[in-house]
Amino acid sequence: MTLLTHFPLCPHSRSIRLALSELGVKCEMAEERPWDWRPEFLALNPSGDLPVLELDGSAVFAGAYAISEYLDEARPGSEEGRRMVLFPGDAQSRAEVRRLVDWFHKKLDGEVTRELLREKLHPRLRPELASQTPDTDLMRAIGANLRYHMSYMNHLVDQRSWLAGDDMSFADLAAAAHLSCLDYCDEVPWDEHSAARSWYARVKSRPSFRPLLADRLAGAPPPKHYADLDF
Protein backbone atom coordinates (compact mmCIF):
# COMPACT_ATOMS: atom_id res chain seq x y z
CA MET A 1 0.00 0.00 0.00
CA THR A 2 1.25 3.46 -0.90
CA LEU A 3 0.36 6.01 1.78
CA LEU A 4 0.61 9.81 1.65
CA THR A 5 0.53 11.62 4.98
CA HIS A 6 -0.62 15.18 4.36
CA PHE A 7 -2.64 18.14 5.59
CA PRO A 8 -5.43 19.37 3.28
CA LEU A 9 -4.27 23.00 3.20
CA CYS A 10 -0.54 22.36 3.16
CA PRO A 11 0.74 23.59 -0.24
CA HIS A 12 3.65 21.16 -0.26
CA SER A 13 1.22 18.29 0.36
CA ARG A 14 -1.09 19.58 -2.35
CA SER A 15 1.68 19.70 -4.92
CA ILE A 16 2.44 16.03 -4.30
CA ARG A 17 -1.24 15.09 -4.38
CA LEU A 18 -1.42 16.74 -7.81
CA ALA A 19 1.74 14.98 -8.97
CA LEU A 20 0.52 11.55 -7.85
CA SER A 21 -2.77 12.08 -9.65
CA GLU A 22 -1.10 13.31 -12.84
CA LEU A 23 1.15 10.24 -12.77
CA GLY A 24 -1.77 7.91 -12.20
CA VAL A 25 -0.46 6.66 -8.86
CA LYS A 26 -3.19 5.44 -6.53
CA CYS A 27 -2.52 5.78 -2.82
CA GLU A 28 -4.18 5.94 0.54
CA MET A 29 -4.31 9.28 2.35
CA ALA A 30 -3.69 9.97 6.03
CA GLU A 31 -4.31 13.44 7.43
CA GLU A 32 -1.81 14.91 9.89
CA ARG A 33 -2.18 18.21 11.72
CA PRO A 34 1.42 19.48 11.64
CA TRP A 35 1.13 21.57 14.79
CA ASP A 36 0.25 18.50 16.91
CA TRP A 37 3.83 17.18 16.80
CA ARG A 38 2.68 13.64 17.46
CA PRO A 39 5.50 11.33 18.52
CA GLU A 40 4.33 8.69 16.02
CA PHE A 41 4.62 11.14 13.14
CA LEU A 42 7.95 12.51 14.34
CA ALA A 43 9.26 8.94 14.39
CA LEU A 44 8.30 8.75 10.72
CA ASN A 45 9.76 12.18 9.83
CA PRO A 46 11.81 13.84 12.61
CA SER A 47 11.59 17.26 10.91
CA GLY A 48 7.82 17.27 11.41
CA ASP A 49 7.32 18.52 7.85
CA LEU A 50 4.68 17.37 5.39
CA PRO A 51 4.10 15.51 3.16
CA VAL A 52 5.48 12.01 3.72
CA LEU A 53 5.14 9.20 1.18
CA GLU A 54 5.41 5.56 2.28
CA LEU A 55 5.78 2.83 -0.34
CA ASP A 56 4.37 -0.53 0.75
CA GLY A 57 6.39 -0.37 3.96
CA SER A 58 9.64 -0.56 2.00
CA ALA A 59 10.65 3.12 1.75
CA VAL A 60 9.77 6.49 3.23
CA PHE A 61 10.24 9.81 1.42
CA ALA A 62 9.78 13.02 3.39
CA GLY A 63 9.16 16.45 1.90
CA ALA A 64 7.93 17.63 -1.48
CA TYR A 65 11.45 17.92 -2.91
CA ALA A 66 12.49 14.32 -2.17
CA ILE A 67 9.11 12.92 -3.19
CA SER A 68 8.93 14.81 -6.48
CA GLU A 69 12.47 13.79 -7.44
CA TYR A 70 11.72 10.15 -6.62
CA LEU A 71 8.49 10.22 -8.64
CA ASP A 72 10.28 11.81 -11.59
CA GLU A 73 13.00 9.15 -11.62
CA ALA A 74 10.82 6.14 -10.83
CA ARG A 75 7.99 7.21 -13.17
CA PRO A 76 5.34 5.11 -11.40
CA GLY A 77 2.19 4.58 -13.43
CA SER A 78 4.00 5.03 -16.74
CA GLU A 79 3.19 1.46 -17.75
CA GLU A 80 -0.51 2.42 -17.84
CA GLY A 81 0.04 4.91 -20.65
CA ARG A 82 1.68 8.24 -21.29
CA ARG A 83 1.80 10.30 -18.12
CA MET A 84 3.01 13.72 -17.18
CA VAL A 85 6.76 14.21 -16.79
CA LEU A 86 7.36 16.29 -13.66
CA PHE A 87 10.74 17.65 -14.82
CA PRO A 88 10.53 17.66 -18.64
CA GLY A 89 13.08 18.60 -21.28
CA ASP A 90 16.85 18.74 -21.42
CA ALA A 91 19.20 19.50 -18.53
CA GLN A 92 18.72 23.27 -18.87
CA SER A 93 14.93 22.97 -19.00
CA ARG A 94 14.88 20.70 -15.96
CA ALA A 95 17.08 23.14 -14.06
CA GLU A 96 14.54 25.89 -14.78
CA VAL A 97 11.74 23.71 -13.42
CA ARG A 98 13.75 23.11 -10.24
CA ARG A 99 14.51 26.83 -9.90
CA LEU A 100 10.83 27.67 -10.02
CA VAL A 101 9.81 24.84 -7.69
CA ASP A 102 12.34 26.25 -5.22
CA TRP A 103 10.90 29.74 -5.79
CA PHE A 104 7.34 28.69 -5.00
CA HIS A 105 7.98 26.14 -2.25
CA LYS A 106 10.51 28.36 -0.44
CA LYS A 107 10.19 32.02 -1.41
CA LEU A 108 6.45 32.23 -2.02
CA ASP A 109 5.81 29.98 0.95
CA GLY A 110 8.00 32.00 3.30
CA GLU A 111 6.82 35.42 2.14
CA VAL A 112 3.12 34.69 1.66
CA THR A 113 1.50 31.28 2.09
CA ARG A 114 2.84 30.15 5.45
CA GLU A 115 2.24 33.50 7.16
CA LEU A 116 -1.22 33.98 5.66
CA LEU A 117 -2.39 30.53 6.73
CA ARG A 118 -1.09 31.19 10.23
CA GLU A 119 -2.89 34.53 10.41
CA LYS A 120 -6.22 33.60 8.81
CA LEU A 121 -6.69 29.84 9.00
CA HIS A 122 -4.92 28.48 12.06
CA PRO A 123 -6.98 30.50 14.60
CA ARG A 124 -10.10 28.75 13.25
CA LEU A 125 -8.57 25.30 13.57
CA ARG A 126 -6.53 25.53 16.77
CA PRO A 127 -8.44 26.18 20.02
CA GLU A 128 -5.39 27.74 21.70
CA LEU A 129 -5.37 30.44 18.98
CA ALA A 130 -9.13 31.08 18.92
CA SER A 131 -8.78 34.59 20.38
CA GLN A 132 -6.09 35.62 17.89
CA THR A 133 -7.01 38.21 15.27
CA PRO A 134 -5.04 38.90 12.09
CA ASP A 135 -2.18 41.38 12.43
CA THR A 136 -3.20 44.17 10.04
CA ASP A 137 0.36 45.31 9.37
CA LEU A 138 1.47 41.77 8.64
CA MET A 139 -1.54 41.15 6.40
CA ARG A 140 -0.72 44.31 4.47
CA ALA A 141 2.85 43.10 3.94
CA ILE A 142 1.61 39.65 2.90
CA GLY A 143 -0.71 41.27 0.37
CA ALA A 144 2.12 43.31 -1.12
CA ASN A 145 4.33 40.22 -1.33
CA LEU A 146 1.54 38.25 -3.00
CA ARG A 147 1.09 40.92 -5.67
CA TYR A 148 4.82 40.74 -6.39
CA HIS A 149 4.64 36.98 -6.85
CA MET A 150 1.48 37.20 -8.96
CA SER A 151 3.18 39.75 -11.20
CA TYR A 152 6.09 37.36 -11.65
CA MET A 153 3.74 34.52 -12.60
CA ASN A 154 2.00 36.90 -15.01
CA HIS A 155 5.37 37.64 -16.60
CA LEU A 156 6.27 33.95 -16.91
CA VAL A 157 3.05 32.88 -18.60
CA ASP A 158 3.13 35.91 -20.88
CA GLN A 159 6.44 34.59 -22.23
CA ARG A 160 5.81 30.82 -22.11
CA SER A 161 3.10 28.22 -22.58
CA TRP A 162 3.57 27.09 -18.96
CA LEU A 163 5.53 28.55 -16.07
CA ALA A 164 8.83 26.82 -16.87
CA GLY A 165 8.51 26.41 -20.64
CA ASP A 166 6.56 24.60 -23.33
CA ASP A 167 5.32 21.76 -21.13
CA MET A 168 3.43 21.61 -17.88
CA SER A 169 5.82 20.62 -15.09
CA PHE A 170 6.08 20.24 -11.35
CA ALA A 171 6.68 24.01 -11.22
CA ASP A 172 3.07 24.52 -12.34
CA LEU A 173 1.82 22.05 -9.75
CA ALA A 174 3.81 23.71 -6.96
CA ALA A 175 2.63 27.21 -7.87
CA ALA A 176 -0.99 26.09 -8.26
CA ALA A 177 -0.86 24.29 -4.92
CA HIS A 178 0.09 27.53 -3.18
CA LEU A 179 -2.50 29.60 -5.04
CA SER A 180 -5.20 27.07 -4.20
CA CYS A 181 -4.44 27.49 -0.48
CA LEU A 182 -4.42 31.27 -0.80
CA ASP A 183 -7.65 31.17 -2.81
CA TYR A 184 -9.25 29.01 -0.11
CA CYS A 185 -8.63 31.99 2.17
CA ASP A 186 -10.01 34.37 -0.50
CA GLU A 187 -6.81 36.39 -0.70
CA VAL A 188 -5.76 36.19 -4.37
CA PRO A 189 -6.20 39.43 -6.40
CA TRP A 190 -7.22 37.61 -9.56
CA ASP A 191 -8.62 40.66 -11.33
CA GLU A 192 -5.22 42.35 -11.27
CA HIS A 193 -3.36 39.48 -12.95
CA SER A 194 -5.28 38.18 -15.95
CA ALA A 195 -2.51 36.04 -17.45
CA ALA A 196 -1.87 34.26 -14.15
CA ARG A 197 -5.62 33.81 -13.71
CA SER A 198 -5.97 32.18 -17.15
CA TRP A 199 -3.01 29.88 -16.43
CA TYR A 200 -4.45 28.89 -13.04
CA ALA A 201 -7.84 28.18 -14.66
CA ARG A 202 -6.12 25.70 -17.00
CA VAL A 203 -4.48 23.87 -14.10
CA LYS A 204 -7.59 24.11 -11.94
CA SER A 205 -9.68 22.47 -14.68
CA ARG A 206 -7.56 19.30 -14.78
CA PRO A 207 -9.01 16.13 -13.21
CA SER A 208 -6.10 16.01 -10.76
CA PHE A 209 -7.38 19.21 -9.15
CA ARG A 210 -10.86 17.95 -8.31
CA PRO A 211 -9.96 16.42 -4.92
CA LEU A 212 -8.31 19.70 -3.86
CA LEU A 213 -11.40 21.69 -4.82
CA ALA A 214 -13.50 19.28 -2.75
CA ASP A 215 -11.42 19.82 0.41
CA ARG A 216 -13.29 21.48 3.26
CA LEU A 217 -12.05 22.26 6.76
CA ALA A 218 -14.63 22.33 9.56
CA GLY A 219 -15.22 25.89 10.70
CA ALA A 220 -13.28 27.37 7.80
CA PRO A 221 -15.24 27.15 4.54
CA PRO A 222 -13.75 28.54 1.29
CA PRO A 223 -15.32 31.39 -0.73
CA LYS A 224 -18.04 30.48 -3.26
CA HIS A 225 -15.74 30.87 -6.26
CA TYR A 226 -13.13 28.47 -4.88
CA ALA A 227 -14.48 25.37 -6.66
CA ASP A 228 -15.84 27.28 -9.67
CA LEU A 229 -13.73 26.44 -12.72
CA ASP A 230 -14.73 29.77 -14.29
CA PHE A 231 -14.06 31.70 -11.07
Instruction: Tell whether the model's pLDDT for residue 122 goes beyond 90.
Output: yes
Is residue 28 within 8 A of residue 4, CB to CB? The reply is yes
Is residue 31 within 8 A of residue 83, CB to CB? The reply is no
3-state secondary structure of 50: coil
Q: Residue 62: pLDDT band by 50, 70, 90 thresholds?
A: very high
Q: Residue 80: pLDDT band by 50, 70, 90 thresholds?
A: low
Instruction: Tell whether the model's pLDDT for residue 168 goes beyond 60.
Output: yes
Per DSSP bridges, beta strands 2-6 and 28-31 are parallel
Q: Residue 190: pLDDT band by 50, 70, 90 thresholds?
A: very high
Q: Residue 81: pLDDT band by 50, 70, 90 thresholds?
A: low
How high is the pLDDT of residue 83? Answer: 79
Q: Residue 219: pLDDT band by 50, 70, 90 thresholds?
A: confident
Count of CA atoms in the C-beta half-sphere (13 A) of 142: 21
Is residue 32 within 8 A of residue 39, CB to CB? The reply is no
Across 166-195, average pLDDT:
97
Instruction: Calculate the CA dihedral of residues 19, 21, 23, 24 and round it to 10 degrees.
Output: 160
Is residue 180 within 8 A of residue 227, CB to CB? The reply is no
Q: What is the rounded distance in angstroms from the CA atom of residue 195 to the CA atom of residue 113?
A: 21
Q: Residue 58: pLDDT band by 50, 70, 90 thresholds?
A: confident
Q: What is the rounded distance in angstroms from the CA atom of residue 204 to the CA atom of residue 219?
A: 24
Q: 91-207 architecture in CATH?
A: Up-down Bundle (1.20)
Asked if 2-80 and 91-207 have one fold, the answer is no
Q: From residue 217, how far is each of 47, 121, 185 by CA, in Å?
A: 25, 10, 11
What percent helix, strand, coil does the chain show, rounded to 5?
Answer: 60, 10, 30
* CATH fold label, 2-80: Glutaredoxin (3.40.30)
Instruction: Tell whether the model's pLDDT for residue 178 goes beyond 90.
Output: yes
Domain layout of the chain by residue ranges: 2-80, 91-207
pLDDT per residue over 20-49, tens digit each? 999 999 999 999 999 999 999 999 999 999
Q: Residue 82: pLDDT band by 50, 70, 90 thresholds?
A: low
Q: What is the rounded distance in angstroms from the CA atom of residue 220 to the CA atom of residue 60?
A: 31
How high is the pLDDT of residue 127? Answer: 87
